[in-house]
Amino acid sequence: MNMHSERFERVRSRIKAACEAAGRNVAEVELIAVSKLHSAAAVRSLYSLGQRAFGENRLQEALAKQRELTDLDISWHFIGPVQSNKTREIAGHFDWVQSLDRLKVINRLSRQRPEGMPPLNVCLQVNIDGEPQKAGAAPGDVWALAESAAGAPRLCLRGLMCIPRLTDDEDRLRRSFARMRELFLKLRADGFNLDTLSMGMSADLEIAVAEGSTMVRVGTDLFGPRGA
């Protein structure tokens, strides 16, 4: 018995139930397995159950895991802060970058994406609750960044990502997710061809799905606590 099968099934049935409650098709919500601080063996185990998309937030850790998993057909998502001196390696080793929030990084990733690879899928990270220490662009800066990312030759702008303020207050979370959806729909109405609204983690994926998420990023509830 695979050690991850119970957790995997539980998370998938939560997503399914959340979609049903929201009157949405389960195919509209993709699950990204956030494997940060978990081993390559854990990734392999989840892969064997059918999971294909994995998220990592630290470059060196991700590269080490990738070297052990070259035989697997994984879609790798970079979801952590992007330092500009790391863009070359990120551009060459990931399928998606969900955490873009600066023009400089947009330009570097586009310039450095290797010719032999398809355009890099990207999301703009939005600091939706305006938290001073948190990564992400201010909502008002998203248009200018979206123009740049959409025009970058080696990037494919897919959508928006957020990590809302840590809180137990469900109404507050719901309002943050709802503001993300409004932003997403406004950008689409302005002609940006976006299909991805990446929001929702272990603790709040139901609320995110109810508010229109198309991609949930789950770590703890798939792999167990980190550093345990």
Ligand X SMILES: *Cc1c(COP(=O)(O)O)cnc(C)c1O
**Exposure on the CB side of residue 44, measured as CA atoms within 13 A:** 10
Residue whose C-beta lies closest to ligand X: 219
Task: Report the candidate in 178, 132, 125, 121 with the shortest Cα–Cα distance to residue 155.
Answer: 121
- Judged by beta carbon, residue 39 or residue 193, the one nearer ligand X is 39
Residues that bind ligand X (CB under 6 A): 34, 36, 57, 79, 163, 201-203, 217-221
The minimum distance between CB 135 and ligand X, in angstroms, equals 9
The minimum distance between CB 34 and ligand X, in angstroms, equals 4
Give Cα separations from 216 to 12, 54, 74 (angstroms).
Answer: 11, 11, 17
Task: Report the candidate in 219, 223, 204 with the shortest Cα–Cα distance to residue 15.
Answer: 204
- Judged by beta carbon, residue 13 or residue 115, the one nearer ligand X is 13
Q: Which residues contact 158 (CB under 8 A, 6 or more apart)?
A: 96, 121, 122, 123, 194, 195, 196
- Judged by beta carbon, residue 57 or residue 127, the one nearer ligand X is 57
The minimum distance between CB 224 and ligand X, in angstroms, equals 10
Coil, helix or strand at residue 99: strand
Q: What b/e sequence results for 111-149 when a residue is b if at least 16 CB atoms lie within 10 Å of its CB, and e otherwise?
A: eebeeeeeebbbbbbbbbbeeeebbbbebebbbebbebb
The minimum distance between CB 42 and ligand X, in angstroms, equals 13
- Judged by beta carbon, residue 57 or residue 196, the one nearer ligand X is 57
The minimum distance between CB 225 and ligand X, in angstroms, equals 8
- Judged by beta carbon, residue 114 or residue 224, the one nearer ligand X is 224
Task: Report the candidate in 94, 141, 143 with the shortest Cα–Cα distance to residue 114.
Answer: 94
The minimum distance between CB 19 and ligand X, in angstroms, equals 18
Q: Which pairing describes strands 53-56 and 75-78: parallel, antiparallel, or unpaired?
A: parallel
- Judged by beta carbon, residue 138 or residue 166, the one nearer ligand X is 166
